[in-house]
Structure 1
Amino acid sequence: MSAATLATLTNPEVIAVNQDPLGVQGKKVAFGSSQLPNSSSDVAVTNCTSFSATIAPERLQWSYNPQDGSIRSKLNGQCLSIDSCSTSEAANIVVSECQINDPSAQCQGKNQQWTINTSDQSVVSRMNGKCLDVYDFDGPSVDAFSCNKQDNQAWLWSPNDGTVRSKHNGECLTLKANLEVWAGPLVNGSQAVVLLNRNDFGSESITVNWQDIGFPVDHSAVVRDLWARKDIGTFTGNYTSPKIDHHSVMMLNITLTM
């Protein structure tokens, strides 16, 4: 066991959060998409009514351009893509920067071109003829699979709200987040906050807003880094972290000032 791992496991401030007498489990209170160039985000099917006021409904909204075959996220304009131009069965589906007809792009962006078949409601890749598919019928993952005319490959497009729903289970095609904020109250009135970077590369800053953790937006609070066991400073309304490495977290204690 490395010294860094041992220090984390024996950190008294982290242990105190885990053993806090209030005993309230932390929950995800906010998330966002990566702002890194050439980054991609996973796609899943989720309950169409599961998002809250802290989650942009645009994550569940899409537009189709029959001319270039693109299916674009209303959140960031990026394109629904077969990851890495894979021709494998059950290849992962992501949303990434649109590169259709770009000669310098891998497979010239053909992995981002789709045809909507109105007869069976399938969404077919123009790159390899495979269908947009809810993995193992109930997902939540979405993949590209040989077309078989089953309901987990049929999609219902709503012109009213921009959602794309699985015919099999009624769940919505959803752009997942890379950056997450988790929080939970402690017995002393402060909030334990975890900032999580799920990206596969690079590093990014993450912002926690007071409104997302139940604090008044016009109040100041002391932010403490629990890993480093030191106060970072006093902030009003929100706190933005330094860059957090991919697959890494920052753990904070945030306490309102009197």
Structure 2
Amino acid sequence: MPAVAIAVSSYKTTDQTLLEDVLKDILPLLAKEDSSLDIVITEEIHSVDYLDYVLGKLYSGTREILLAEDLYDTPINVLFNQDSSHHLNNRWDLLVMDKGEVVHLPHKELKKVCLRKEIDKHERQDSTENDPLYTVSALGGTFDHLHDGHKILLSAAAFLTASRLIVGVTDQELLQKKQFRDQLESYETRSENVRLFLAMIKPSLEVEIVALRDICGPTGAVPEIESLIVSRETVSGGQIVNNARKSKGLKELKVHVVNVLGGKEEDGWKEKISSTELRRRRSIK
């Protein structure tokens, strides 16, 4: 179960062809059972919109290469805004750094590949100002078979939250009509996967997971929540939540919208990455 990591400055500042070459070099490792791939962004990210953009490019571009080898289930995790010593303390079997530096290389057949380090002035973030952080934020979802789209949503929420993140995970009783229901993960499994991912992305964050039994969940009633993070596909839910809060005399939430990974709004997001497709693939194995 090899654990592999690649350190990059960002999607914009790393030559995509060279990154693809690295990925192709490590495909034999990623094809092994229970392998994993972490991509570590070494650039400090200040804007949630920029983060959303970079995560979308890194997750989708990497997944496309893995899909060509039928590696649909190999987990990808994009890490950002973390202390470099934390990276080196991770128990990766292989860590490819900028300028071809390789840390702990047990697989001698892998060549060193240099990732471009120079940053063009036009490729920098639009602003060096930090986005405001909220003391308490919230989001919700089913989070079945935690996939790349879920990870982008959770990453944006973690980025925007200074202290406490409330995650509503859909209760099992509301999922009776889901397709391929026999492959649906339990509430406990889905909740634990969310917790583990957030602990990896932002260890300092206090994460509170609650069972979601209606569209609003705690966001419609908890006064201290300041922001709500939604996907572009479910943006209408933000207005429903704010209407519910307004009816109770609570302050409306600042709604942050994260892009959907794959698919287009005009066709109903048909091609988006989804838990349904992951369950379908498992049902035919």
Q: Which of the pair has more CA radius of gyration?
A: 1
Higher helix share: 2
TM-score category of the 2 structures, normalised to the smaller one: under 0.3
Higher strand share: 1
Q: RCO greater where, 1 or 2, for CA within 8 Å and sep 6 or more?
A: 1
